[in-house]
Structure 1
Amino acid sequence: MSKIEIKNSFVELGNFLNQFTLDENTKNEAVKNNDTFFDAFVDLIHLSQSHNGWFTPEQVYFSIQSWAKALTEENLSQWLSAYDLKETDPKNIGLILAGNIPLVGFHDFLTVLITGNNVLVKTSSNDQHLVKFLAKYLIALDERFEKKITFVEGKLEGFDAVIATGSNNTSRYFDYYFKKVPNIIRKNRNSVAILTGNESKEELTSLGEDIFRYFGLGCRNVSKLFVPKGYNFKDFFEAIFEYKDVIFYEKYANNYDYNKAVFLMSLYKLLDNEFLTLKEDTSYSSPISSVFYEFYDDLDEVKSRLKLDEEKIQCIVSNNIVENSIAFGQTQKPMLWDYADNVDTIEFLNLLQ
């Protein structure tokens, strides 16, 4: 398959995904293979929560719409225009995917295929159905994808390079097991926000999206706030009140109750609005239903700290305080060229040729 043909297939996939929203699933007769896939995908979306309790319809639809918006002719062309993608013999690229949020590994899947390579996929047990369904759709569009996409149940073998995503613990295993081949090994990362106290209510409400989307399970979710000394959290709590319904989701509520109890038994001082706790802590990684915060006197010190800890940080949210920071409410809306850990996956794959 040529790279142009592969790109066109992903545009068709984007057209397919664009039919599915939380408000309504609307069949577009111009979309290919709807007779086979439309109803089946609706069923899968609503079954996803039985496969992974965190994959509620709202969260799955959000992910689907994000990919529908990304997989357009315009976006794909803009992304690929930065590279010299020559027609070369394909390499076999092993992928070990995470499963913390719906379709979290799809960018790697897309990148390997759109550069003309073959993909060997080992899915997480927490997210093994959605990406397989989309692969079947691609194969239905062009049966040549069947030779380019392999899902691996057992040991991952026969690869020329590997992209593996896991925890800090599993990354040590990955580093050892894949040390003899080119690799990208991703570890735990967290996202932070820097506040000055001058943020509008709209900006703080948007920050709630960065905190609560996917229940805070993604590495792009904000788990830590840097605030000026003496910061009053009243405006923050008022602005995020519209996310209060998150507490009615049982798994989130159980985490809220448990983590709050642990904090209180440890005699930690907490700020609490009955669906989110704030704890003063120097760490970046906070548990579900909690966000850590830290006071600062000097913004330059915060910038220096984050520069030193850049391997622990996925995103920095601010009102243009830090270079290349992300606007409030945008962390879970990355563009195709926003690479995880700032590692250019296409460049990595190009160097294999």
Structure 2
Amino acid sequence: MKFLHTSDWHVGKVLKGHSRLDEQRAALGEIVQVARNHEVDAVIIAGDLYESSAPTADAQQLVVQTLLALKRTGAEVLAIAGNHDHPPTFDAYRQLMACAGITMVGNARTAADGGSVDFTARSTGEPVTVAMLPFLSQRYAVRAADLVTKTPAESSAAYDQLVRDLLSALTAGFRDDAVNLVTAHLTVVGGKFGGGERTVQSIFEYWVPANAFPPDAHYIALGHLHRRQSLPAPCPVHYCGSPIALDFGEQDNPSMVLVVEAKVGMPARIAAEVPISSGRRLRTVCGTVDELAQRAGAFGDDYLRVLVREATRAGLREDVQKLLPNALEVRIAPEFAAPVNIARPSTPVDGVERSPLELLHEYCVDRKLVDERVEALFVRLHDQVTAGDG
């Protein structure tokens, strides 16, 4: 049988004030087409369908439309909540989505209560069991009192043990004559961050080793780390990554979904790593303003993070964004950044009191920010404030 593994859609993501919804609509459309072209028996979405636990109506509409479109391909559709999703909302719509043939799991459930799903592969007639473990917050594994009394290593062990116990219970019904799959949203020891994850929910206390998964599983479909990767384990353990680069830290990550083949008695194999190309490229560029102007035509419609190799000055950001309208972030390259003086004298070393304008001028000279427009604006604002006081 064949299934499609995808995760970390983050629908509703806004990058530096720019909506990614149109890109995501196109990318999810590609995923539906992949499911249709490969005639997969199931689509597994391993968490973080949304960027926010309170998604906009447009984001919700896109996700629902995509889930329904995936179901219309004839595939079983199974989705778990990630750390960005709102588990109670997933569970609130669980029965309604079930009417459309879509399985959603928000909070961890027992196998009997829907934490494990059985179906028959339409292409081969093989029985399939999928154990579904959504993101599990550490607070469910370690009580508040334990955070005070236990060491970080002990807290981490408690989280690890809870995940193991849940997986053991969810996979207790795995059979020798079925294809046994697990999907989970978590961090596995040895996994590499994609660059856009919430660090606080990817730290060591939330990690589990790859041997936490049962060796009789044919495939482990993971979400949470946005980089495509496989991890050594007694069974195949894979992250598929995100279908678009979500932040500049992910600009070099290939965007894809996985088409997986599995059969009874054999470990699953990756049949295809299918590229998803709809997301706009994120790119970091570096140079002086003149150098950037000369290269502007080569950047196309890429979203840009710009490192300017010049000392800062008033209006520099505006100049760069006028040249490069897709520059979402403009920074001074570290080697050109003005040094930060931590300790400064609290009283004038020469004993002479300085006016506010003189103090501003000294500050600007010290930071290499001298610009007569800034000082003129300061004088105007200072006059308004002092006149108001009078």
TM-score by length of 2: 0.24
Give the structure with the higher percent helix. 1
Larger RCO of the pair (alpha carbons < 8 Å, separation 6+): 1
